[in-house]
Amino acid sequence: QVQLVESGGGLVQAGGSLRLSCAVSGRYVMGWFRQAPGKEREAVAAIGLQSDNRTYADSVKGRFTISRDYANKMVYLQMGSLKPEDTAVYYCAEARRYAATVVVQEYAHWGQGTQVTVSS
Q: Exposure of 55 by Cβ count < 10 A (0-12 exposed, 13-18 middle, 19+ buried)? A: middle
Cβ–Cβ contacts within 10 Å for residue 88, how many? 22
Mean pLDDT for 78-106 is 95
Q: Given this model, what pLDDT does residue 68 score?
A: 96
**Residue pLDDT, tens place only, 3-48:** 799 999 999 999 999 999 999 988 999 999 999 999 999 999 999 9
Per-residue confidence at 2, pLDDT binned at 50, 70, 90?
A: low
Give the span between the Cα atoms of 69 and 21, in whole angstroms: 11
| Percentage, residues of the chain above pLDDT 90 | 91
Say if residue 93 is exposed, middle or buried (CB neighbours under 10 Å; 0-12, 13-18, 19+).
buried
pLDDT at 57 (0 to 100): 96
Q: How far is CA 13 from the centre of its chain?
A: 19
Mean pLDDT value across residues 51-79: 96
Q: Is the pLDDT of residue 1 over 80?
A: no
